[in-house]
Amino acid sequence: MITLFQITGSSSFAARAALECAGADYAVVDVHPRRRDEAAGFAAANPLLRVPTLRDGDVCLAETGAILLWLGDRFPDAGLAPPVGTPARADHYRWVTWCANTLHVGWWPVMGASHLTPDESAQESLRAGGREQMRRNGAHLEAWLADHMWLAGDQPGVADIYAYMLVGWQHYDDIRLGGPALASHYERVGALPGVARARELDDLDPRLIRIHPDMRGGRPLD
């Protein structure tokens, strides 16, 4: 049995989209953002209480990139991860890792500057520097996608899903990443039935903006 510990509209979206694209049978546990210790089994699965966390039988996994790599292999028939030992597989490792260690964390100074310092002018500097870095990240994706339909191999995979989520977060800020190639990749990935279904389940519009900002997991936040 697979269980995804999630908060709708958060980083867990990518894991849910991969599960949907894989046609997996899974359950979700909706974690309350401020009362994470109330979610049954969550602390045992991930003492850091961060989402996404995945429990798959005896296996507990945290970190979006690790979960996506796991799911790509767990559902080989879904074709979300290229075959081991191929050049496309190397691209798959490279892009999932880059999403995790560069693109994902690249948003923190932009969106979470106030968590990093109480000093408001320092927050502004952090945001400005973060936006500049994210523009460079967008250009990096744009350059690859100008020549490639997908990030790894000739079909959409977990790397595309991860990048899609992180690129979608630009709509929460006054920044545009990449150019026409990245924009059309965003449209292509967003049109995948599993991704569209995950958006619906997570109550997100096509920009990945929460349709009901005060709700998580279909319930009002209290």
Query: Which residues here bind ligand GSH, judged by CB under 6 A?
Result: 10-11, 50-52, 63-64, 100, 104
- Cβ-in-10-Å burial (0-12, 13-18, 19+) of 194 comes to buried
**Could you tell me which residues are beta bridge partners of residue 62?**
53
What angle (nearest 5°) sits at the alpha carbon of residue 189, between those of residues 76 and 8?
85
Q: Among residues 92 and 104, whose Cβ is nearest to ligand GSH?
A: 104
Q: Among residues 4 and 152, whose Cβ is nearest to ligand GSH?
A: 4
Q: Among residues 112 and 193, whose Cβ is nearest to ligand GSH?
A: 112
Q: Among residues 52 and 157, whose Cβ is nearest to ligand GSH?
A: 52
3-state secondary structure of 30: strand
Residue 104 CB, nearest approach to ligand GSH (Å): 5
Residue 36 CB, nearest approach to ligand GSH (Å): 8
Residue 148 CB, nearest approach to ligand GSH (Å): 24
Q: Among residues 37 and 77, whose Cβ is nearest to ligand GSH?
A: 37
Residue 53 CB, nearest approach to ligand GSH (Å): 8
Listed as own residue / partner, the contacts of 195-199 with beta carbons closer than 8 Å and 24 or more positions apart are 195/17, 195/20, 195/21, 195/161, 195/164, 197/20, 198/13, 198/16, 198/17, 198/19, 198/20, 199/13, 199/17
Residue 2 CB, nearest approach to ligand GSH (Å): 17
What angle (nearest 5°) sits at the alpha carbon of residue 151, between those of residues 5 and 164?
45
